Amino acid sequence: MRKDNSEFITGFLSESGSFVRNKDYFAYAQLDDIACWVIARGLDNDQEVESAELAAKSVLGYFLQKPSISRYRIRRYLQEAHRVLQAESHRVRLKASLTVIVTDYARVRYGVTGNTRLYHFRNGRLQWQSKDQSLAQQMVDGEEIAEDALDQHEERHNLLSYLGTPNEFRPFISKKLPLYDGDVFLLATPGLWEKVNPAEMQDGLQEATDPETWIDTLEDVLLSKQEHVIQNYTAAAIFVNKIFKTDPQKKWRIIKRVALILLVLALAGGGALLFKMKEAERIADAATGMFEHETAGDAFIAESDYPKALKAYSDARNAANIVKNKIQVALLAKKIRITQLIVDGDAAVKDEQYAKALDKYDKALKEMKGREDFNEPEILEKKEKTQSYVLVMQWKKEGDLLFEAQDYAGAEAYYQKARKLALETSFVTGEKELRTKLDEVASKKTGIDKEKKTLDGDKLEKQGDESYAAQDFEGAIQSYTMAQEIYQEIGVLEKVLAMERKVTKAEEKLNPPAAPTSAGQPPVQGASAANQSPTVPVNQTAPVNQTAPVNQTAPVNQTAPVNQTAPVNPAAPTYQPVPAPQVVPNNQPVPPVKTAPATQPVQTPQANPPATANPTQEEAATTP
């Protein structure tokens, strides 16, 4: 148990700085015989996927599956993380810098891609630091710029290799390095090492007794720079207080055994035996790879990641062919065939070839019958969902036929039914198409309704014109008003204004305006101007010629006014009023009064009552 016989203490911090999101990520795992630390920095702007977290978890996940300190394994960890970022690059290309450390508690090996860094301190002094895979580092190696200018050079973020690169992926993997008690490692992202130089790191380490104290000191140094903008920064410190001590005798026994083998090979001529040993080593590696790839494929099947499972099974079969294990080749071929059918079915669904997808799923279900290494219920669910897609598209087609036949109500019913099923089965593409179709149906129905109402309005307008011509003005107004309401509803403004003008014209015909009256005499209330009889005030103080009575029913010389408000018998003739006598000076003879002949009555229309005299005129008539 190496872990129990050693002491590795870890402390870390990760902050977002001046930003809302933190694109850095750190994780580690310590097993009984081996340990791994991973730090990553996201280089993309994806708002949904954290590339640093995804890459670090991928490396750590593959390490936990196959823990090893070998160079081959560490390279595979990084390659798998690189492939994962490429596979998840849907909206933008995901990319990240990453550094990984693996130790067996006695030795250490690390890998770097990008510009996250590893610093190694021994006896309180910097022993070495990892190299960035950047243009600035290349310039330092070529002695184009000084090494102390690297951390601030403008090309320090111009990376030549990183996770997710579209070019050839070339991570750096170190050799195994021995560990000693008291060694200290620091993992840092650019947000920290750009602002805290190695000398400041070393000074902080002198006073630190544990990783947390040292990390806090480094953070204080960074914040004391009082930068206007602080980038995401992450730092992880590993204090190696005690390493695992191996048995020296065991080491010498291994050396002696290897030397003996080499001596035997040399004495035997070495050539043929060396070739056979290399071949045996290749076959052994292939056998190991065969089982590893198959195990990885089974894990991908459990996660429903069929494309990755297909690749893993293919690699396993290639290894089985090298080993010449025919049984394993046959078993893997079966797994590949089933997985390929599922992958083809999923691709057909994506391409909207639902009949083809159903055929692939049916064949896959038939092939996996009775097997426990494939998830049969999941494939059945895929098949049922695809059948629903087929039904949705069939109903849509029926609706299209009715739409072309201008049966919009029938088309709408099919579209609604298909859209409901599409929503239930999460058929996003179909639901979107059906929503568009329903909008088209609604547009057509609205147009037909407008045309129908336009015809109704025209019909009412025509009825109004006919009523107007027949001088039925009330009927014309009613028809015009109803037509105006219809035009208003469908938004035909010019027709609305036309109906308004026609209604006004009909109202003028129905209620003509009053005629103007003579000066000084306002119109009499209660009768039209056309039917009013002229009324002449009578001077009631002057004598009247008695030989010509004006009205037989009442004497002329009365204090009451001549024109009474009481109704007059329509059958009796109305005579003209007697003009008032002429007023002369005192003691002068009064000239004779000329009277109108009594035999000439003034005919008054029978439909209107007699007009009432104006009170002001009556008062003026009685004044001498």
pLDDT of 515 over the 60 cut: yes
SS (H, E, C) 559-576: CCCCCCCCCCCCCCCECC
pLDDT of 543 over the 60 cut: no
Q: Summarize the chain as % helix, strand, coil (round to 5).
A: 50, 10, 35
Q: Which residues contact 533 (CB under 8 A, 6 or more apart)?
A: 574, 602, 604, 610, 611
Q: Which pLDDT tens digit goes with each residue over 316-361?
A: 888 888 877 877 888 888 899 999 999 999 998 888 888 899 999 9
Alpha helix positions (H), 174-270: 190-193, 198-207, 211-224, 248-267
- Arithmetic mean of pLDDT, 5-32: 93
Q: How confident is the model at residue 199 (pLDDT cuts 50, 70, 90)?
A: very high
Q: How confident is the model at residue 68 (pLDDT cuts 50, 70, 90)?
A: very high
Q: Is this model's pTM higher than 0.85 or not?
A: no
Contact by Cβ (8 Å): 378, 301: no
Q: Residue 423 and residue 433: Cα distance in Å, rounded? A: 12
When mean pLDDT is compared across 67-76, 295-304, 449-458, 536-545, the lowest value belongs to 536-545
Average model confidence (pLDDT) for the chain? 79
Q: Residue 12 and residue 27: Cα distance in Å, rounded? A: 10
User: Token pair 């007009």 is at which residue?
Assistant: 611
Q: Residue 163 and residue 277: Cα distance in Å, rounded? A: 36
Determine the pLDDT at residue 585. Answer: 47
- Arithmetic mean of pLDDT, 15-39: 93
User: Token pair 């056309």 is at which residue?
Assistant: 530
When mean pLDDT is compared across 39-53, 166-180, 204-218, 530-544, the lowest value belongs to 530-544
Determine the pLDDT at residue 607. Answer: 42
Which structure tokens are listed for 499? Answer: 């109906």
Q: Which pLDDT tens digit goes with each residue over 268-299?
A: 555 555 555 555 666 766 777 787 888 888 88
Q: Residue 335 and residue 332: Cα distance in Å, rounded? A: 5
pLDDT of 37 over the 70 cut: yes
